[in-house]
Amino acid sequence: MSSPENTISDIELQAYIDNELDSIRHAEIEEIVNSSAELQLKVDELRRINNGLDTLFQPKLEEKVPERISHLVAPAIRSNRLAFAASILLAITIGMVSGWYGHSRMQLQVNQSPTAETLVKDAFAFHAIYTPEKKHPVEVNASQYTHLVNWLSKRLETQIRIPDLETSGFKLLGGRLLTSEERPAAQFMYENNNGQRITIFARNCGTEDSETAFSYASKNNINGFYWTDENLSFVILGDIKKNEISEIAHTVYEEMNR
């Protein structure tokens, strides 16, 4: 006999999270979710991803539609912002506006190789997804420092050094294992007394990752620097001033080369 949680499809679970079900089915699923620790974790993760995607793509919803594709959207739909956004995404799917969307969706100030650009885009995406998280900002917290270092060093196949940024006003919260261009990657998160968070994204280098100089990248209010040192590439990001993140980036570089 199937357990109650097995009666909920992934599509229906997403509809529950988005409040798109009728009140009766919503209440039924809510009862099942509240009785299943596994489903609660799944719902938390889906909500975290939703929040990250909202942070990434909300500016796109506010942009004026280019005139050359405005004829694709019926006037009646334009009055509904969410329906309008869905129609644009549909047009993107069939390739009608791929050139416009591909050019503007991230709007990062990155002027390096395609590999470096992908590195930075991944770092911004994961920063947006996990920094707003209250309950699970990291996978392994700072109290398990030795385990965190050993685990990520093994997965990234190189010895990881986690910088101490307390002199810069930021305390380590912990880290998590991620991936970028099918390579293992790590994210370390820090927080100051004001609740501001910064992240350091580190990825194994490929032979094409030869850039070593500090380079600047930004998106919306997030400033960052990226560089490659020996066999690791780094991106440090934060919703703080450019000169402040620059100072912290140099501190990270020094910490990594002690």
Per-residue model confidence as pLDDT tens digits over 39-64:
888 888 778 777 766 665 555 555 56
Predicted TM-score (pTM) of this structure: 0.59
pLDDT at 137: 93
Average pLDDT on 163-168 reads 94
More confident residue, 66 or 34: 34
Residue ranges covered by each domain of the chain: 4-104, 114-256
What three-state secondary structure class fits 41? helix
- What pLDDT, in 10s, does the model give residues 84-139? 454 444 444 444 333 333 333 334 444 455 577 888 999 999 999 999 998 889 99
C-alpha distances in Å from residue 7, one per residue of 20, 22, 37 = 18, 17, 16
What three-state secondary structure class fits 184? strand
CATH 3.30.200.100 holds for 114-256:
yes
**Residue-wise DSSP of 49-116:** HHHHHHHHHHHHHHSPPPHHHHTTS-HHHHTSHHHHHHHHHHHHHTTSSHHHHHHHSS-----S-HHH
Residues 6+ apart with CB under 8 A from 107: 59, 219
Q: Which of 5-14, 90-99, 105-114, 158-167 reaches the highest mean pLDDT?
A: 158-167
Average pLDDT on 186-193 reads 97
pLDDT at 108: 47
Q: Give the integer Cα–Cα distance in Å for 36 and 42.
A: 10
Which range (134-143, 155-164, 202-211) has the least confidence? 202-211
Percent of the chain with pLDDT over 70: 70
The answer on pLDDT for 21 being more than 60 is yes
